[in-house]
Every structure is written in C-alpha cells, then in structure tokens.
Structure 1
Amino acid sequence: MTKFLDDNFLLESKQAQSLYHEYAVQMPIIDYHNHLPPKDLAENRVFGNITNAWIDGDHYKWRAMRTLGINEKYLTGNASDKEKFIKWAEAVPHTMRNPLYHWTHLELSRYFGITDTLSGKNASAVYDATTEMLQSQEFTSRGLISKMNVDVLCTTEDPTDTLEYHQQLAKSDFATKVSTAFRPDKAILIGSETYNEYIDSLEKASKSDITTYDELCDALRNRIEFFNANDCFVCDHGLSHLYAEDFTESEVKAIFKKRREGNKVSPNEAAKFQSALLLYLSETYHEFGWVQQFHLGALRNNNTRMLSELGPDTGWDSIGDYTQAESLSKFLDTLDSKDKLTKTILYNLNPRDNALMATMAGNFNDGSVKGKVQWGSGWWFLDQKDGMIDQINTLSNMGLISCFVGMLTDSRSFLSFPRHEYFRRILCNLFGNEMAKGELPNDMEWIGKMVQNICYNNAKEYFDL
C-alpha cells in the first residue's frame, strides 16, 4: 500500500518520478501574483502562533468550516487563537478530496516537518509545536519564503499605495526579490458607491486635482511612473469581464464629470467609461513594457448580510457565468490594431471558458515574443488537482504547453508556497505517464528541460527577470 504524501505523492510512473525528483524539484520559484502583505516582509514578522500564520485571513478554510456548521467565532470572531486552530484541525478530516486536505498536509510537512495527519486528536500538540518553531528566525515571514526557495515574488497594491515597504525591502539583505503588481480597479469601476472617495485618495497620492477625465488619466499615469520607478513590471485586474463598448472622448469626459459631481451613472455609461479607461491603462502598460494580467469571472460578495458584517474577501465569492469571448476579443484586437498590446496573461474562473481562453490567446501571438499572450494557470476555485490537469491538457491541445509561464499562489498566506510543488508533481505526472505509455518519447533530458522551463525558466524570460 502506498503511504499518504510519500516522496512519490501524485507521481504514478517511474518516468513521472524521475521528472519530478531529477528536474522539477530543484527549480526556484517565481510567484508572480500573490496578495502577501509587504509590511510583514519588510518588518520580517514573527508570527505569534500558527493561527496567525495559517488561518487568519484564509477564506478557503473559513468556507469549509462554515459548511461544517462551525460557529463564526472560531473563524473571524473572538475565540482564542488556539481554539480557532483546534476547530480547524477538527475540520480537516472532513475535507478529504477538497484541495485543502492536500494543501494542509503539504504545508505542515514542508514547513514544520509534521507528517502525521491533522485532526482534533493531535491539534493541541501540533499547535504547541508549530507555535514554538514560529518564534525562531528560521520561521519569520522571510524565513518561510526562503525555505521554499522563492527567487521572486510579486504582491498586489493599489495605485494609492506609498510602496514604503517595497522600498524598505529593496534596501534590505533579503535574498528574494519582492516586487508588486499595479491594481487600479477602484479607479475603473465608476459605478461604485465609494468611487468619489477613492478618487479623492488618488488625488492625494498623485498630488494633483482630479476633476476631469484627462486629469484622472494623468494621475494614473503619474502612479504608473511611480510604481515603475520602484521596480514594478506587472499589473493586475480582477474584473467580471473585459469592457469593450464603443465610446467617444466627449462621452467619456461627460460621464466622469457627471460622477465626480456626485450623480449616478447608468450601466451603459459605466461600461463606456470602463472601456475607455481600461484601454488607456493598457496602452500605458505597453509603453512601459509591463505584463498585464486579467483575472476574469468572479461573482463577488454574494451574501450581502455577511458582507456587511465581515467585509469583502471573507469567503462570499463564487464562479460567475459572464459572457467573455466577444468583449475579450474586441479589447485585445483594439490594442493589437494600434500595435499597443503588451504581454498579457488571461485567467478564467469559470471552467467552461477553458478552451475559449486557450484559443483566444493564440489569436494574438504574433511571433514578436514567445508566448506573448498566455492563458494563465488554474485560478482560485480551479487551482486544485482536476482544475490544473484540465488547464494543462487544454493548453497542450490548443496551444503550446512548452511556452507556459507556470504556477502562482494568488494567496495571502506565507505558508501557501507548497502549491508550486503540488502543481509540479501534477505536471510531471502527466508528462511521465504519457512517456510510460509510449505517447511521448522516452527522452528524459528533453522533456525534463521542458518541465524546468514551465516551472521556472519561462517565467524568468517572460518577465525579463
């Protein structure tokens, strides 16, 4: 009987095992999109206990615990940190076949050397042992990153951010390069109830008045220049779908003026404005040579009662069924027709859009850059075993997996980096099994190099690192 989570976990053939152990495992990590708090890295945070490092802010775990009927006080409430951890440990045996089960045990093993399966029976002992380890320098925020051989990571910041923590990190002796992604969605979503308050904050950050559309564009460009001067090379947008409505300059200027004066705008007006501003931003990204990322398809904040109690990003989002193809095509084509389409990564949340994204990317790969337009890795609800297999297989069939820039964590947790190992094992298993069946040649050197490229080298080249 195969032991759970042994050295050959998820590796079903000798070829898969060789690909992973001889080629994939040695490659560093480029985590080019996550939501880690840069303050914790700049200050080299020492976590008080494993709950602080592992459960606080983790809406994946919270959703599972709520499903099991665990009271909110043990998730986001006033229960003690140890009580919260014990409740999570009691939940873990019930998460079998959810990716949380694999992630939990990979993380306990890779960071803390704990190989026993977690449950209520050993919860207290695990809490005490991990909390003690977390007090040492080896387990600070930077130590946890270094343990996973992370070469580069990119956090995600709003245009109003001062980037003070990134500036501190740039001057530090931390071996991992820490950059950021520019995320200006709050400036785009003009229908938001707090839109004018946000523009007020953008005024302060850019040290400029923003009463007209042209001034808004100038302010955003100012912040792009600031981010660029602080070694930013990528942006990120989290949108339901891309906007590609026809508009005129006079329309867009009037819409912004109307909203800035405190009036509401219609859905059609919002779509025109959002289309115009997103195009302006993308043209500017091209000018600066950035990579742009579009995370598309989330239906956010579904539970308004709980949203009002706990705020966003606390576990009330799901997959949306937005129409993607026509607007995505029109948006990319508009940029390409001006020769202003920068390197682009597309992510979908609805699995029905897998083939759509894989084939859409191919429409705009013009031979100027290897893999110029990428279909990104399985994201959010799709960054699990089946989701990754579907993404890899669809990209292989409809594009070139050899050009793929690989995995990212998209996480707020310093303990999430074994997800790269999870992806690498799945990748090696797919290639190795096809080698074993004679569907691919038994050329370990060539396929091993391809695996290394997907794990690391392609991203290093793509992001010019």
Structure 2
Amino acid sequence: MKKFMDENFMLSTKVAEDLYNNFAKDMPIIDYHCHISPQEICENKKFKNITEVWLYGDHYKWRLMRSSGVDEKYITGDSSDYDKFLAYVKAIETAIGNPLYHWSHLELQRYFGVYEVINEKNASVIWEKANKALNDGLTVREIIKNSNVKAICTTDDPIDSLEYHLKLKEDTSFDVKVLPAFRPDKALGINKDGYTDWVSKLAEVSKKDIKDYGAFLEALDSRIEFFHSVGGRVSDHALDYVPYIEASKEEVDAIFKKALKGEKVSFEDETKFRTFTMKFLGKKYASLGWAMELHMNAKRDNNGRMYNKLGPDTGFDSVNDNEVAGPLSRFLDSLEKEGSLPKTIIYSLNPNDNFVIGTLLGCFQGTEAFGKIQFGAAWWFNDHRDGMVEQMETLANLGAFSTFIGMLTDSRSFLSYTRHEYFRRILCDLIGKWVENGEVPNDMELLGRITKDICFNNANNYFGMGLK
C-alpha cells in the first residue's frame, strides 16, 4: 500500500517515476490562460489568512461546499474567515475521488509546508501553520516565483487600460512575464444587458465615434494593436455556442445599429453578427501571429435565483451540449480559405466533443507553428485524472501527441499552479503505462524530450515567449 500523496503520488510505474522526477518536475510553467488579477501581482498582495488565498473567489471550492450541504453564509456570506475555513475543511472530507481533494492537499503542502490530512481534527493546526507562512511573507509574487512560473497570460476585456500590465512591464524587480489576453466576449454579447454602455466605453478608450459597424470594427482593431504593444499574443473566447451564419457587412451593420438603439435582435441575427465579428477578429489575430483560444459548450448561470444574488462565475455553471462539428468546421474553413486562420486552441467542456475536436485538428494544420491547431487541455469540469487521460489519449489516437502545449490553470486562485504538477504526474503516468505495456519503446531520451516539450517547451515556442 502506498503512502497517501507521497513523492511518487499518481506514478504507478518506474518509468513514470523517472519521467516525473528527472524530466517533468522542475520544468518551468507557462500559465497561458488564467483569471488572476494583474493588480494583485503588481501590488504584491499579502493575504491576511489562509481563507483569503484559499477560498475567496474559488467557485470550484464553493460548489463542493454547496454539494456538501454547507450554508451559503459560510461560502459567500458574512461568516468569519475561520468559520468559512472550517466549513471547507469539513466539506473536503466528503470529496475523496474529486480532484479538489488532491489539489487542496497539494496547495497546503507546496506553499505552506502543511502535510496534515485535511479534516476537522487537524483544522486548527492547519490554520495556524498556514497563517504563519502568510505572516512570514508569503505574498503573491513569492507564490508565483516558488512555483517556477515564467509567464502568465491573464484574461482582459478590450476596454481594459492594462494599467497594471504596463507597470509590471517596467518593474525590473519581478522577472515573470505577465501578459494580457484579449477577451472580447462583451463585444460579441449584442443581446446582453448593458451592451450599449459597453460600446460607449469602447468608443471612449479607442477614441472612435462608434455609430456604425465599421467604426466598431476599427475600435476593436485599435484595441488589439494596443494589447499587442503591451505584449499580448493570445485571445480568448467563451463561446456558449459556436456561431456560424454568413451575412454581408451591410446586413451586420443594420443588426448592429438596431442593437445600438437598445433593441434586442433575433437569435439568427445575433449569430450573423457574432460570425462576421469572429471572422474579422480571426483575420486580425493571424496577421499579428497571435493564438486564438476557443472555449466552447459551457452552460452558464443555471440557477437564476443565485445569479441574481451573486452574479456570474460563482459556481452555477454546467456542461452544455450544443452542436460543435458543423459550425466550428465552417468557421475554421472560412478563415483557412482566405489564408487567415490563426494558431488556434480548441476546448470543449463537453467530453462528447473530444473526437470532433481531435479529428478537426488534422484538417487545418499548417507550418506556422508546431501543432498549429491544438486540442486544448482538459478544461474545468474535465481537469481531473480521467478527463486529462481521455483528452491526451484522444489526441494521441487521432493526432500528434508530442506537439501538445500542455496544461494551464484557468483559475482565479494563485495557489492553482499545483494543477500543473497534478497534470505532469498524470502525463508521466500515462506514458509510463504505455511503456509498461510494450506500446512505446523504453527510450528515456525520446520520452524525456517529449515530456519536457509538453510541460514547457511546446508552449514556449507556440506563443513565441522566448523563455529559457
């Protein structure tokens, strides 16, 4: 029987142990998609206690607490930080088999030197040890540096001033790259409440008089150029559905003008607007050598009562089952026909789409990058062992496994870099099992190179980071 979460945790073969300890473990991290705050990095935030860094804003953990019957006052309510901490400690005892059980232990071990099993009996010891580490100077930047992170791509609205990215760019005391990622979801949300207000803000920051669709596109173009000047090299799109209905620019202009009057448009017209705008953006990204991330098939804000109380991104989302194959193929092909398909990373929250993505990759590859069209890492509800293995096995079965750009956190928590360790252990175990079964040669030079590439080198090259 193995010891709980020892140094060879999740490594079931000697090859897996060798790959992890000699090739994967010490590779740097490029976290190319996350939701952490550049302001908190810039200001080197110090947390007052473990609850603030461990639970604030982490809707993964909030969701588990609700599933364990915890009252909302201990999750997002006005209970004390210790009571919230204790509520989570009790909840995690219900979560064996959930990746949160492993992540939470890894977070305590790696950042706070806490190796006690998380349970109510150990709660006070964990609280005291973790808070001592924070009081002794464990700040945001220390967490990042201790995690061997070399680059971070945050998620930023087109109207963002990028004030803190600019400050970090000039800060010679911190050598981690913190780069903006262009997230134009609000630009595409033509039927969302507050859309005209957002367009007004876009007009202000871009210094464009947005009275028609042409001016709207010019404003987006100027913001992309601004992001590029600050170091942005990637965009990100949350596509609840993949839009594709072709329309002329004149037709889309009429749709946009209707929205500017505060009127709702039909779903068909919304899809036409989104399609034309996405194609415009894709061409722009390609011209600058950017990568485009497409996150698909999330069903957001299912609980209307809680959405009205807490807003979005608070733990009430789920997997969607919208059609992907047809519209995604047409979208990629429309850009490919014009020689304007950018490097693209495709994620679906629905694992039923894995073979759709895995086979579409091979239809649109190019020489612009090693693995130009990527099958994105197992995402959100899929970033557990089974989901990661399924994603990697699908890629290996249908494409070029060694071109994979690896893991990202997609997180709002600074402690989530342990997810890279979790992924690397699963990666090494998968390869080790292939060797054990005689499916792959026991060539450590080859396997070590592949492991290092997936952990860091491929992403470094794909995004043009130039890191050592």
- TM-score, length-scaled by structure 1: 0.98
Q: Which residue number in structure 1 is paired with residue 129 of structure 2?
A: 129
Structure 2 counterpart of 1:169:
168
State the distance in 2 between where 1:450 and 1:246 align. Answer: 41
Show the 5 A alignment for 1:142-161: 142-161=141-160
Instruction: Kindly state the Cα deviation for residue 368 of structure 1 after the two structures are TM-superposed.
Output: 4.1
1:388-409 alpha-carbon deviations (Å, 9 max, x no partner): 0000100000001100000000
Matches of 1:324 and 1:73, distance apart in 2: 39
CA distance in 2, matches of 1:356, 1:415: 33
Percent same amino acid at aligned positions? Answer: 48
Q: Distance in 2 between matches of 1:51 and 1:160?
A: 32
Please state how far the C-alpha of 1:197 moved relative to its aligned partner: 1.3
Residue aligning to 2:283: 283
- SS of the equivalent of 1:182 reads coil
| Separation in 2, partners of 1:437, 1:280 | 48
For each residue in 1:263-308, what CA deviation from the matched residue of structure 2 results, as whole angstroms up to 9, or x when unmatched?
2211111111111111111111111111110000100011010000
Unaligned runs of 5+ in 1: none
User: 1:380-459 counterparts in 2 under 5 A?
Assistant: 380-459=380-459
Q: Deviations over 1:163-218 (max 9, x none)?
A: 01111111112121111100011011211122111111111221222110001001
The one-letter amino acid paired with 2:149 is V
Q: Which residue of 2 aligns with 1:207?
A: 207
Matched, 1:363 2:375: no
Alpha-carbon distance in 2 for matches of 1:201, 1:73: 35
Rounded to whole Å, the distance in 2 between the matches of 1:136 and 1:410 is 28
Aligned residue type for 1:196: T
Distance (whole Å) between structure 1 residues aligned to residue 369 and residue 449 of structure 2 = 20
- 3-state SS of paired residue (1:457): helix
> 1:63 is matched with which residue?
63
> What is the CA-CA distance between 1:437 and the residue it aligns to?
2.3
Q: Return the alpha-carbon distance in structure 2 between the equivalents of residues 285 and 365 of structure 1.
A: 16
* Alignment correspondent of 1:337: 337
CA distance in 2, matches of 1:90, 1:243: 43
Alignment partner of 2:451: what SS? Answer: helix
> Does the Cα contact within 8 Å between 2:47 and 2:134 map onto a contact in 1?
yes
Structure 1 residues 435-464: Cα deviation after superposition (integer angstroms, max 9, x where no partner): 122221110111111100000000111111
Instruction: Give the root-mean-square deviation of aligned CA atoms.
Output: 0.9
SS in 2 for 1:306: helix
2:252 match: 252
Equivalences, count = 464
Matched residue SS, 2:180:
strand
In 1, distance between residues paired with 2:365 and 2:22?
32
Alignment-mate amino acid for residue 167 of structure 2: Q
Provide Cα deviations, 1:40-65, integer angstroms capped at 9, x if missing partner. 00000000111110100011111111
What corresponds to 1:372 in structure 2? 372
What amino acid sits opposite 2:375 in the alignment?
Answer: W
Contact 2:36/2:413 (<8 A) preserved: yes
2-structure distance, mates of 1:383, 1:178? 24
Structure 1 residue 156, shift from structure 2 partner:
0.5
For residues 406 and 127 of structure 1, the distance between their equivalents in structure 2, rounded to whole angstroms, comes to 33
Rounded to whole Å, the distance in 1 between the matches of 2:320 and 2:24 is 34
What amino acid maps onto 1:177 in structure 2?
K
Cα separation, partners in 2 of 1:345 and 1:142, compared to 1, 3 Å? same
Matched, 1:316 2:335: no
Residues in 2 aligned to 1:367 and 1:186: alpha-carbon distance in whole angstroms: 32
What does residue 354 of structure 1 align with?
354
- Could you tell me which residue of structure 1 aligns to residue 178 of structure 2? 178
- Cα offset for 1:415? 0.3
CA distance in 2, matches of 1:345, 1:438: 31
Q: Structure 1 CA distance, aligned partners of 2:385 and 2:105?
A: 15
What's the CA shift for 1:410? Answer: 0.3
Aligned equivalents of 2:262, 2:351: Cα separation in 1: 39
Q: Is the partner of 2:154 in helix, strand or coil?
A: strand
Contact kept? 2:242, 2:323, Cα under 8 Å: no
Q: Equivalents in 1 of 2:374, 2:241: separation in Å? A: 17
Whether the 8 Å CA contact 2:116–2:126 is kept in 1: the answer is no
Superposition pairs of residues 84-123 of structure 1, within 5 angstroms: 84-123=84-123
Q: Whole-Å Cα distance in 1 between the matches of residues 22 and 55 of structure 2? A: 34
CA deviations over 1:130-166 (Å, ceiling 9, x no partner): 11211233x1000001111001111100001110111
CA distance in 2, matches of 1:244, 1:451: 37
1:241 deviates by: 2.4
- Structure 2 residue aligned with 1:268: 268
Structure 2 residue runs without a partner (length 5+): none
Hey, what's the Cα distance between the residues in 2 that align with 1:218 and 1:18? 53
Residue matched to 1:40: 40
- Opposite residue 348 of structure 1, the aligned amino acid is S
Contact 2:103–2:418 (Cα < 8 Å) also in 1: yes
Letter in 2 for 1:150: V
Q: CA deviation at 1:366?
A: 2.9
Paired with 1:271 and 1:281, the residues of 2 have a C-alpha distance of 15
Cα distance in 2, alignment partners of residues 58 and 21 from structure 1: 30
Give the distance between the partners of 2:127 and 2:115, measured in 1 at CA.
14
Displacement, 1:69?
Answer: 1.1
Q: Secondary structure at the match of 1:417?
A: helix
Deviation at 1:369, TM superposition (A): 2.7
